[in-house]
Amino acid sequence: MKADSGTRLVDVDHLTKAFGSVAAVNGVSFHVNRGEVLGFLGPNGAGKSTTMKMITGYLSPTSGTARIGGADVRTQPRAVKARIGYLPEGAPLYGDMTPEAYLDFSAQVRGLDGEQRKRRVEEVIKQLQLNEVLRRRIETLSKGFKRRLGLAQALVHDPEVLILDEPTDGLDPNQKHAVRQLINEIKPNKAIVISTHLLEEVDAICDRAIIIDHGVLVGEGTPAELRARAENHNAVAIQLPTHIGPKAAKIIAAMPQIERVVPTAHGAMMHLTAYPKGHEFAADIVAAKLRADGIEFQELHTEAGRLDLVFRQLTIQRQNA
Amino acid sequence: MRIMFIIARRELAAYFSTPLAYVFLVTYAAAAGAMTFYVGGFFSRRQADLATFFTFQPWLFLALIPAIGMRLWAEERRTGTIEILMTMPVSTWEAVAGKFLAGWAFTGLALLLTTPIWFTVNYLGSPDNGVIFASYVASFLMAGALLALASCLSALTRNQVIAFVISIAACGLMMVGGADIVIATLRKVAPGVIVDFVASSSFLSHFGTITNGVLDLRDMLFFLSFIGLCLFINGQIIEIKKGA
């Protein structure tokens, strides 16, 4: 089967959920194509999990809808559910079962039979390295195994769409890496939505990211595009000995292309951050100017922009309001 | 249908994954025996029947069925697995019916464990086996009705203890609805239609008719439709909570 990339598999259309008079999710729209991993970011309580619960048909939307491969979750919930693999918040599991029985049960409910079922269950066991715990009671497993078992359950029927609510939460760095690698391996044929707090994860696996806050979409773009919105995007970071720091700061601040310079002292070293006007690239001219004026700096580089700054810029004003 | 049985099988296995199932079965079998032989005076009655056994059956059920029903939905809510179950391609009625069937099969097994008493009475004399069979059918139907009620109430909460307590209260009400004391009190405050309705929906009177040897279709239908009603409401509760 040829990967038909570019097909819109997830189409979230003005999804809204009100609990009483509070809108937990308010008119959120986005889409995910085949072969794409979308990072779903936002502070705790922003509405990420509620949105995912609506996409997967666990909660009914107050208004708006989600379409999975063309099937509308409001009118064709069964078709939607059959196409989705879902890891809910906190990776809930039947604690009284064994991983083996649990995966077999999931595969059965998903309509897999006989050889095919056996093969798929074995495959996800291998993919998520669950071999050593197959016959233990789920409630006795470590957090890492539980999370991976939850992922195995979401993958067992090889769905086109994966909705994963914090898939790497509770995993150690090696396990996180393994899960990210797995997601990269399977993504060509799937549309994947991942909610996360970890901005490094966005860089590691996401093609695009959306940020929501208080139930409203506040940002969207590729990681690079989002970074460009950071306050420190294209800022020039300079490291130099403390005694020449103030002089250098004065020279740079006087340049017409530079908006302001922020110095921070680190013992014998001083760190200057120069913010160019309009986030224009300015490292070359700053370097040339300093050299021309005989200032010897140890290091000079351009900041790409930090995702966490963008995240805070986009989500903090409303919190303070 | 297929999915309903897959769910029922998982649920039934869940009962046996903890010691609770065995404790339950042993307690039930022991209590049923003790009630029959000691409290009911099985031997001193010198009659070859199981009337005493079936007299105590409703009261044993009252204590034990809510214990079987309480976990059906409350546990799923508490652990969050309901989110897994209801986002699989499973309809609400398949989940409701599957879970109920598992619990009902479990009570059926408990009843089956009391059959040595049936053999005993046949060994000691010649009872009317037709009546005993009808009584077993009635017991199974009543257990189903109580379980359906408990399952429905279990869907309202994430706390098994609360589910257990309100189930006992509700099952008790359904049981004694036809008792003279209830009817007499009700007659003073409610119109005749309601009094008749309450009196006619009493579990004990329907159960009593059958155990007296009349396997009337109406009594069987009563229990079956009560099960249907409770499971319907059970499904509605699940659906309503989805929209909340």
pLDDT tens-digit map of A235-269: 888 888 888 888 888 888 888 888 888 888 888 88
Does the pLDDT at position A128 exceed 60?
yes
Which residue in B has a C-alpha nearest to residue A56's C-alpha?
B87
The confidence score (pLDDT) of residue A312 equals 83
Given B18, B243, B244, which is nearest A96 (Cβ)?
Answer: B18
Q: Is residue A188 part of a domain?
A: yes
Question: Per the CB < 8 Å rule, is A56 touching B84?
Answer: no
Compute the average pLDDT of residues A12-31.
93
**Percent of chain A whose predicted confidence (pLDDT) is above 70:** 97
Q: Smallest Cα–Cα separation from B155: which of B63, B82, B67?
A: B82
Q: A311 in a domain, yes or no? A: no
Q: How many CB atoms lie within 10 A of CB A236?
A: 25
Q: Inform me whether the pLDDT recorded for A193 exceeds 70.
A: yes
Facing residues of A269 across strands?
A241, A266
Range of the domain at B218: 2-243
Phi first, then psi, for residue A291 (nearest 5°) are -65, -45
Classified as helix, coil or strand, A46 is coil
Are residues A26 and A105 both part of a single domain?
yes
Residue in this structure with the two tokens 């078709």, named with its chain if needed: A79
The helix/strand/coil state of A104 is helix
Alpha-carbon distance of A100 to A7, in angstroms, equals: 34
Whole-number pLDDT of residue B78: 93
In this structure, the dihedral spanned by the alpha carbons of residues A275, A277, A279 and A282, taken in order and rounded to 10 degrees, is -70
In a domain, A23, yes or no: yes
ipTM of the modeled complex: 0.88
Chain B residues lying within 8 Å of A76, measured CB to CB: none
Q: Are residues A39 and A183 in the same domain?
A: yes
pTM of the model: 0.87
Q: Could you give the CA distance from residue B97 to residue B235 in angstroms, rounded to a whole number?
A: 9
Whole-angstrom distance, CA of residue A204 vs CA of residue B67: 49
Of A203, A228, A253, which one is at a domain's C-terminal end?
Answer: A228
Q: Which residue has the tokens 């050889």?
A: A115
| pLDDT number for residue B41 | 78
Are A221 and A248 found together in one domain?
no
A244 and A165 fall within a common domain: no
Q: Is A109–B84 a contact, with Cβ atoms under 8 angstroms apart?
A: no
Q: Check whether residue A222 and residue A254 sit in a common domain.
A: no
Please judge whether A95 and B80 are an interchain contact, meaning their C-beta atoms are less than 8 angstroms apart.
no
Output the pLDDT for position A244. Answer: 83
Q: A122 with A264, same domain?
A: no
Q: Which amino acid is present at A191? A: A
Interface probe with A: pick from B2, B15, B88, most Cβ of A within 10 Å? B88
CA distance B6 to B219: 31
What number of C-beta contacts closer than 8 Å exist between A and B?
67
A140: confidence class by pLDDT, cuts 50, 70, 90 = very high
Residues 6+ apart with CB under 8 A from B172: B62
Q: What phi and psi, each to the nearest 5 degrees, are found at residue A39?
A: -85, 135
Band of the pLDDT at A71, cuts 50, 70, 90? very high
Concatenated DSSP letters of A276-289: EGGG---HHHHHHH
**pLDDT class of A318 with cuts at 50, 70, 90:** low
pLDDT digit string, tens, across residues A44-62: 889 999 999 999 999 999 9
Q: Is residue A320 a part of any domain in this protein?
A: no
Least CB–CB distance from B80: residue in A82, A92, A106: A92
- CB–CB of B199/B178 below 8 Å? yes
Model pLDDT, residue B104: 97
pLDDT value, residue A159: 96
Residues A20 and A87 in one domain: yes
Instruction: Look at residue A210 and tell me whether its pLDDT is greater than 90.
Output: yes
Indicate the SS3 state at residue A186: helix
> What mean pLDDT comes out for the span A120-141?
94
Per CB-CB distance under 8 Å, the chain B contacts of A93 are 79, 81, 84
The amino acid at residue B128 is D
Say if residue A2's pLDDT is above 50: no
Q: Chain A contacts of B99, Cβ < 8 Å?
A: none
A60 → closest Cβ in B87, B90, B242: B242
The string of pLDDT tens digits covering residues A76-100 is 999 999 999 999 999 999 999 999 9
The pLDDT confidence band at residue A5, using thresholds 50, 70 and 90, is low
Q: What is the CATH number of the domain that holds A79?
A: 3.40.50.300
**Which residues of chain B have a CB within 8 Å of the CB of A94?**
10, 14, 79, 81
Please, which residues 262-321 of chain A have a Cβ atom closer than 8 Å to chain B? none
Choose among A95, A108, A153: nearest Cβ to B79: A95
> Residue A123 belongs to what domain range?
8-228
Identify the segments of chain B with pLDDT beneath 50.
none
Verify that A116 and A30 share a domain, yes or no.
Answer: yes
> Is the CB of B83 inside 8 Å of chain A's CB atoms?
yes
Asked if residue A87 is part of any domain, the answer here is yes
Note whether A48 and A195 are same-domain residues. Answer: yes
Residue A310 is assigned to a structural domain of this protein: no
Same domain, A180 and A84: yes
Total number of domains in chain A: 2
Asked if A108's CB is within 8 angstroms of B87's CB, the reply is no
pLDDT value at residue A321: 45
In a domain, A149, yes or no: yes
Is residue A319 within 8 A of residue A257, CB to CB? The reply is no
Residue A103 has pLDDT above 90, yes or no: yes
Contact call for residues A202 and A209 (beta carbons, < 8 A): yes
CATH number at residue A247: 3.30.70.60
- Chain A residues in contact with B86 by the CB 8 A cut-off are 57-58
Total count of domains within chain B: 1
- Pair (A80, A197) in one structural domain: yes
**Is A199 inside any structural domain?**
yes
Please give the structure tokens belonging to residue B149: 């009620």
A178 and A46 in a single domain? The answer is: yes
